[in-house]
């Protein structure tokens, strides 16, 4: 039975979560609604949120698919009523609220972005979530500007690698903390000063700190910030409970932001997609940013991919491919 025959039969393969683990199951195929696209998924990235959801710590928003996957890329096979921009055969990618790690995925057309011609499926599948998250955090939230000094914690992961490239492309001075010494050279090649996390205070002061790790970097983050500096927290995998020195916050006139994409209303997520499409996709076309791949796995080996994702020391994205 072929891929599309299986779809027509009413079932498809998808990543499902059972007992705190990711596995492959058969679920009902999705149907596109008003202004939605049905996409045959070619590749889908893994992210920390997937691991958290598998363990029961990050449930999807109400109404979102309960199957895995917050980003995907593939070909449009059907367009629901009201679709205006994309049609059958178009290559698209998107950040979704779930269901991206499957043979087919329904995507709101407002969230879909065209896949640039130079980009292969593996890279496209690992692009949307990390670059959307990094761009929103650095520029929409923190207002990073040319010439400013930015420290990116956890820079060897998917979002960190994206953030390093975007900050460098914007003309910022980039310092990247990388725990694994074997990965620092590769991060440095992305136009960053790659250092051990223990040394980041001495490397400052910074105008912006992008926090992808969590509690271990506090209260040092406040000490490392320049006056009127900004911190954006978008990852707390190493811990979320910290103690803040409010007096230091006041004296330095610091600003603290924290953000996630998944729970936002559709209109806000669509606005993020337009920002990425306008500002980042031209950098892909010109070769100034790319998606380093740690490893790819076929969809059928999703459990192994989830296990590999948790192994420390890798650089770049883990991607499932059709």
Q: How confident is the model at residue 2 (pLDDT cuts 50, 70, 90)?
A: very low
Average pLDDT, integer, range 88-98: 97
Dump pLDDT digits (tens) for 15-51.
Answer: 999 999 999 999 999 999 999 999 999 999 999 999 9
Instruction: Give backbone dihedrals phi and psi of 170, rounded to 5 degrees, phi first.
Output: -85, 0
Dump pLDDT digits (tens) for 115-164.
Answer: 999 999 999 999 999 999 999 999 999 999 999 999 999 999 999 999 99
Average pLDDT, the chain: 95
Cβ proximity of 14 and 68 under 8 Å: yes
CATH of 3-127+264-321, one of 3.30.70.250, 3.90.180.10, 3.40.190.10, 3.40.50.2000: 3.90.180.10
The percent of residues in the chain predicted with pLDDT above 70, rounded, is 97
What pLDDT does residue 254 have? 96
What pLDDT does residue 186 have? 95
Q: What is the CATH number of domain 130-258?
A: 3.90.180.10
Closest by Cα among 179, 228, 178, 185 to 206? 228
Instruction: Give backbone dihedrals phi and psi of 18, rounded to 5 degrees, phi first.
Output: -140, 125
What global pTM score does this model have? 0.94
Q: How many CB atoms lie under 10 A from the CB of residue 135?
A: 22
Helix (H) or strand (E) holding 26: strand 21-28
- Domain positions in the chain are 3-127+264-321, 130-258
| CA distances, 226 to each of 41, 149, 213, 222, 239 (Å) | 44, 9, 20, 9, 24
Q: 9 pLDDT exceeds 70?
A: no
Pairing relation of β-strands 113-114 and 91-95? antiparallel
Instruction: Report the alpha-carbon distance of residue 101 to residue 45 in Å, rounded.
Output: 8
What pLDDT does residue 10 have? 84
Dump pLDDT digits (tens) for 186-242.
Answer: 999 999 999 999 999 999 999 999 999 999 999 999 999 999 999 999 999 888 999
Q: 7 pLDDT exceeds 70?
A: no
| CA distances, 64 to each of 71, 215, 239, 274 (Å) | 13, 30, 26, 21
Q: 312 pLDDT exceeds 90?
A: no
Instruction: Report the alpha-carbon distance of residue 36 to residue 109 in Å, rounded.
Output: 5
Q: 8 pLDDT exceeds 80?
A: no
Q: Say yes or no: do domains 3-127+264-321 and 130-258 share a fold.
A: yes
What pLDDT does residue 313 have? 86
What pLDDT does residue 238 have? 87
């Amino acid at each position: 039975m072929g891929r599309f025959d299986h779809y027509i039969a009413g079932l498809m393969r998808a990543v499902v979560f059972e007992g705190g683990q990711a596995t492959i199951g058969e679920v009902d195929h999705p149907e596109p609604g008003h202004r939605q696209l049905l996409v045959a998924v070619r590749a889908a990235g893994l992210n920390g949120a997937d691991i958290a959801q598998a363990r029961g710590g990050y449930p999807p928003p109400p109404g979102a698919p309960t199957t895995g996957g917050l980003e995907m890329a593939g070909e449009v096979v059907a367009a629901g009523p009201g679709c205006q921009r994309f049609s059958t055969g178009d290559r698209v990618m998107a950040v979704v609220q779930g269901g991206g790690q499957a043979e087919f995925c329904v995507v709101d057309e407002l969230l879909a972005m065209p896949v640039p011609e130079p980009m292969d499926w593996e890279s496209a599948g690992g692009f949307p979530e990390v670059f959307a998250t990094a761009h929103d955090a650095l520029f929409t939230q923190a207002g990073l500007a040319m010439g400013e000094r930015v420290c990116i914690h956890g820079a060897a992961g998917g979002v960190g690698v994206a953030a390093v490239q975007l900050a460098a492309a914007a003309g910022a001075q980039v310092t990247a903390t990388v725990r694994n010494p074997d990965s620092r050279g590769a991060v440095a090649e992305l136009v960053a000063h790659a250092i051990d996390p223990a040394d980041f205070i001495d490397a400052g002061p910074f105008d912006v700190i992008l926090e992808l790790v969590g509690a271990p970097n506090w209260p040092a983050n406040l000490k490392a910030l320049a006056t009127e500096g900004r911190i954006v927290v978008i990852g707390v995998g190493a811990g979320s409970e910290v103690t803040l020195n409010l007096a230091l916050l006041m004296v330095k006139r610091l600003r603290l932001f924290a953000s996630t994409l998944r729970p936002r209303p559709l209109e806000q997520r669509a606005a993020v997609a337009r920002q990425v499409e306008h500002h980042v996709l031209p950098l892909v076309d010109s070769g100034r940013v790319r998606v380093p791949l740690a490893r790819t796995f076929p969809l059928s080996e999703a459990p192994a991919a989830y296990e590999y994702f948790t192994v420390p020391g890798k650089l770049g994205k883990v991607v499932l491919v059709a």
